[in-house]
């Protein structure tokens, strides 16, 4: 399974470019809704991603199953290479449809100690 559909890839890249323009103009960051949810089927890791740079670095909310989800930059190369305890690769949640912004997911995740979708 590919981690992103073509439409998701285009949206992630467009979000990144829009964010760069805002930063270059000294404007506040855009609080995007997550475009994609990734997870490990055999571990408790989850990622909600909003942006993807041309350098293959994404931005989003990461929960590595240790009770402390955080916002930050994520290497997509590392995600593609990651395997859980049973050797299963990271998958895309085919049914995920974001209903709030990334900061709202982050606030809920801090409250619950994990990403709640």
Check if the beta carbon of residue 32 is closer than 8 Å to that of residue 50. Answer: yes
Model confidence pLDDT, tens digit, residues 59-103: 999 999 999 999 999 999 999 999 999 999 999 999 999 999 999
Would you kindly state where each structural domain of the chain is located, as residue ranges? 6-112
Q: Tell me what percent of the residues of the chain surpass a pLDDT of 90.
A: 98
Average pLDDT over residues 7-34: 97
Residues comprising the chain, all counted: 117
- Say what the pLDDT of residue 15 is: 98
- Say what the pLDDT of residue 30 is: 97
The band of 1, judged by pLDDT with boundaries at 50, 70 and 90, is low
Helix or strand run (H / E) with residue 78: helix 76-81
pTM of the model: 0.95
Angle, alpha carbons 11-47-70 (nearest 5°): 110
């Amino acid at each position: 399974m590919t981690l992103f559909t073509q439409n998701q890839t285009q949206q992630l890249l467009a979000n990144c470019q829009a964010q760069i323009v805002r930063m270059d103009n000294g404007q506040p960051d855009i609080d995007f809704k997550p475009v994609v949810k990734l997870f490990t089927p055999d571990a408790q890791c989850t990622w909600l991603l909003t942006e993807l740079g041309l350098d293959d670095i994404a931005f989003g909310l990461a929960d590595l199953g240790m009770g402390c989800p955080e916002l930050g930059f994520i290497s997509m190369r590392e995600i593609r290479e990651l395997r859980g305890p049973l050797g299963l690769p990271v998958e895309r949640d085919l049914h995920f449809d974001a209903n709030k912004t990334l900061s709202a997911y982050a606030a809920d995740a801090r409250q619950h100690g994990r990403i709640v979708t």
